Amino acid sequence: MERTKSYNSQILLIMSILISIGLVMVYSSSAIMSNFKYGSSTLFILKQFIGVVLGTILFIIFSNFDYNKLRKYMIPLLIFTLVLLVMVLVFGKSVAGAKRWLKIGPLNFQPSELAKITVILYLAWYIDRRKSKIKNFKEGILKP
């Protein structure tokens, strides 16, 4: 059975409006400072626009991805995320006394953002595995 994906046009319209408002706000709040400091009034809006394009590409990719395929990778994903969180303590970039970022090539990456998604996926996976016992709070949630 082939899956077809339909997008809610109202949500896409609202999302487009919010992105447009965000781009206007970034430009209006940063153009003068950007021109003074970097010689280009469009530097920050271009960075923001690149983020919008990358986000849109990721949105399209992940909205067509069958999330059920993640089940078999749940434990490795959890371990990978935990390793990244420990790496922050050892190799993390310190900003204002707090280590939150990993520098991987030209990118700065915050493993806690991946951890948020991983926790959501793990809890969904865990609850799905225990769905027969989930009716009872003590057996379904409290007992591992």
pLDDT for position 62: 83
Contact status, residue 121 vs residue 70, Cβ threshold 8 Å:
yes
Number of domains in the chain: 2
135 is a domain residue = yes
- Alpha carbons 94 and 128: distance in angstroms, whole number: 38
DSSP class of residue 92 equals P
Domain, as residue range, for 59: 8-65
Q: Both 44 and 73 in a single domain?
A: no
Is 134 in the same domain as 74? yes
Residues 58 and 87 in one domain: no
Q: Note whether 84 and 132 are same-domain residues.
A: yes
List the structure tokens of 79: 């371990």
Within a domain: 2: no
Task: Specify the pLDDT at position 50.
Answer: 95
Largest CA distance in the chain: 63
pLDDT score of 17 more than 60: yes
Last residue of a domain, one of 27, 42, 65: 65
Same-domain pairing of 92 and 123? yes
Helices vs. strands in the chain: H and E counts, helices first: 5, 3
Q: pTM of the predicted model, to two decimals? A: 0.63
Q: Which residue has the higher pLDDT, 144 or 23?
A: 23
Q: How far apart are CA 101 and CA 87, in angstroms?
A: 10
Residue 19 shares a structural domain with residue 39: yes
**Rounded mean pLDDT of 105-113?**
87
- Out of 32, 48, 65, pick the residue that ends a domain: 65
Q: What percent of the chain lies above the pLDDT cut of 70?
A: 93
CB distance 71 to 125 below 8 Å:
yes
At residue 2, does pLDDT exceed 60?
no
Edge-to-edge order in the sheet of strand 107-109 = 93-95, 98-104, 107-109
**Least confident span in 13-17, 57-61, 67-71:** 67-71
Average pLDDT in the chain: 87
Tokens 């926790």 belong to 119
Distance CA 80, CA 27 (A): 38
Residues 99 and 89 sit within 8 Å (Cβ to Cβ): yes
Question: Does one domain contain both 48 and 118?
Answer: no
- Distance between CA 1 and CA 88 in Å, rounded? 44
Assess if residue 123 is contained within a domain: yes
